[in-house]
Amino acid sequence: MSMGYVYDPIYLKHDTGKHVENAQRLVAVMTRLEESGLKQQLACIKPRAATAEEIALVHSPYLIARIEAMAKKGGGRLDADTVMSADSYQVALYAAGGLVRAVEVVLDGGGSVFALVRPPGHHATSTQAMGFCLFNNVAIAARYALSKYKLERIAIIDFDVHHGNGTQDIFYDEPRVLYISTHESPLYPGTGSMEETGSGDGEGTTINIPLPAGSSDTEYLEAFEQVVVPAVRRFAPQLILVSAGYDPHWSERLAMMEVSVTGFARMAGVIKGLADELCDGRLVFALEGGYSLDALAASVRATFDVLLGNTGIEDPLGQPEPGFRVHEFEPPDITPLIEQVKRLHNLP
């Protein structure tokens, strides 16, 4: 299998009402894949529910019990941002299990998989659900790969507009996992400074690239070429996992970045190139953020096109029109930031 996707209608049953993270996100994505003809080119991988033991690879018994109990009561709010319904615990098991299945498929048979799951996961710590996230899907998949497949090196690349504080926290002292995050700063949840580099045996395996508001395709590609590529090459992972958040898109109202669909495609191309070069193409994308439905659907489609090797990338939204935002950003100069990150991590 060269390219597959994980999806199941169960992901629509995580009912968040009018919350920005809602079922229409996946409806929009699946509709775009169907209409474009891409869906027919992909292998569909059915998820399964993660087992209690698999969830416990990452999360505390307290958190697991709290989420299950909230669902049994019919749902509610775990915090001001994070909503549950009666089905959300079961759906969260399938979201984590979807990532586990993706890892199994890739490590057993090669190729790449995009897990189109919800709820997202990268904010969930071992003990706390937050930021729309219940369980940390990517972290569970990484721990599963380390445990079952005895991998020695996994790279996680996170390009969501928000810092993946949960993933960082879970692997902060883990030398077998390289975590790299590009994110808008300052922004929720307030973590992800470049000085956060890991601890103990994991010192140096956390790399944060906190980008200023207004960063566009140019700045993101500079960060990828100058930091992500050399850092991942040096680490030489056996598997690459991606927390794919499409909320840096210029049309998003929850952030202030200026990335286009074309920019996401170029980032996906860089990541695919690293996977092909370093780990025989073993690559798993996991959906995280992205709340502007047209931008999300177009960006996911473009990512699939890149992973399939299609050369014609469609960007129906293009670049932002002048005056799109009340505050117009001058193109930021991120060279000093990039140089500082490189010095902190001894990158060429």
Domain ranges of the chain: 6-311+332-344
Name the nearest CA neighbour of 35 among 23, 43, 27: 27
CATH superfamily of this structure's domain 6-311+332-344 = Histone deacetylase domain (3.40.800.20)
Q: What is the DSSP letter of 118?
A: S
Cβ-count burial 258-281 (b if 16+ within 10 Å, e if not)? bbbbbbbbbbbbbbbebbeebbeb
348 residues of the chain, pLDDT tens digit each: 579 999 999 999 999 999 999 999 999 999 999 999 999 999 999 999 999 999 999 999 999 999 999 999 999 999 999 999 999 999 999 999 999 999 999 999 999 999 999 999 999 999 999 999 999 999 999 999 999 999 999 999 999 999 999 999 999 999 999 999 999 999 999 999 999 999 999 999 999 999 999 999 999 999 999 999 999 999 999 999 999 999 999 999 999 999 999 999 999 999 999 999 999 999 999 999 999 999 999 999 999 999 999 988 999 999 987 767 756 678 899 999 999 999 999 999
Residues 126, 59 contacting (CB under 8 angstroms): yes
Catalytic machinery residues: 123
Residues 243, 156 contacting (CB under 8 angstroms): yes
The model's pTM:
0.98
Residues 329, 259 contacting (CB under 8 angstroms): no
